[in-house]
Amino acid sequence: MASTSNTSTSTSNSNSSASASAQRQLLNSLQPHWNSGSQPDIIRANQKDLHYLHVLTEQFKNVAQQHLGARFVALNQKLIRAGAQLLYFATTTIRGEEYCSIMQSSELTQTYPSLLRRTALVAIHTLGPDLLNRSIQRWRQRGSTNKSFRTLDEKSSDRLGAGISDRLSRFLDILTAPQVRAALIDNFTIIHLMIFYFAGSYYHLSKRLLGIRYITTRKISPNEIRVGYEILGLLLLIQLAVKLGFAIKDAVAEKSQEETSSHSHEDPKASWSDLTQGPDSTSSPATTTEKCMLCLSTRTETAATLCGHLFCWTCIFEWCNNKRECPLCRQTVDITKIVRVYNY
User: What is the arithmetic mean of pLDDT over 197-221?
Assistant: 81
For residues 207 and 326, membership in a common domain is answered with: no
- Which of these three, 242, 265, 281, is where a domain ends? 281
Nearest-CA neighbor of 87 among 62, 55, 48, 112?
A: 55
Residue-averaged pLDDT of the chain: 72
| pLDDT at position 92 | 60
- Which of these three, 264, 281, 298, is where a domain ends? 281
20: in domain: no
Return the amino acid letter for 245.
G
Is the pLDDT at 218 greater than 70, yes or no?
Answer: yes
Q: Whole domain around residue 203: which residue ranges?
A: 35-281
Is the pLDDT at 257 greater than 60, yes or no?
Answer: yes
For residues 259 and 299, membership in a common domain is answered with: no
What distance, in Å, lies between the first and last C-alpha atoms of the chain?
Answer: 104
For residues 234 and 302, membership in a common domain is answered with: no
For residues 240 and 301, membership in a common domain is answered with: no
Higher pLDDT, 147 or 102: 102
The pLDDT tens digits for 36-83 are 777 888 888 888 888 888 999 999 999 998 988 888 888 888 888 888
What CATH number corresponds to the domain at position 312?
A: 3.30.40.10
For residues 295 and 267, membership in a common domain is answered with: no
112: in domain: yes
Number of domains forming the structure of the chain? 2
For residues 89 and 148, membership in a common domain is answered with: yes
4: in domain: no
Phi and psi at 228, nearest 5°, equal -115, 170
Higher pLDDT, 44 or 157: 44
- Which of these three, 281, 303, 320, is where a domain ends? 281
Rounded CA separation 188/39 (Å): 20
For residues 195 and 325, membership in a common domain is answered with: no
45: in domain: yes
24: in domain: no
199: in domain: yes
| pLDDT at position 18 | 52
Q: Read off the pLDDT band of 158 (50, 70, 90).
A: very low
1: in domain: no
Cα–Cα distances (Å) from 48 to 98, 113, 136, 232, in that order, read 10, 22, 30, 21
For residues 191 and 230, membership in a common domain is answered with: yes
Query: Do strands 339-340 and 102-106 pair parallel, antiparallel, or not at all (unpaired)?
Result: unpaired
Query: In angstroms, how far is CA 232 from the centroid of its own chain?
Result: 18
For residues 70 and 150, membership in a common domain is answered with: yes
85: in domain: yes
For residues 160 and 274, membership in a common domain is answered with: yes
For residues 315 and 255, membership in a common domain is answered with: no
- Mapped onto helix, strand or coil, the DSSP state of residue 342 is coil
For residues 42 and 191, membership in a common domain is answered with: yes
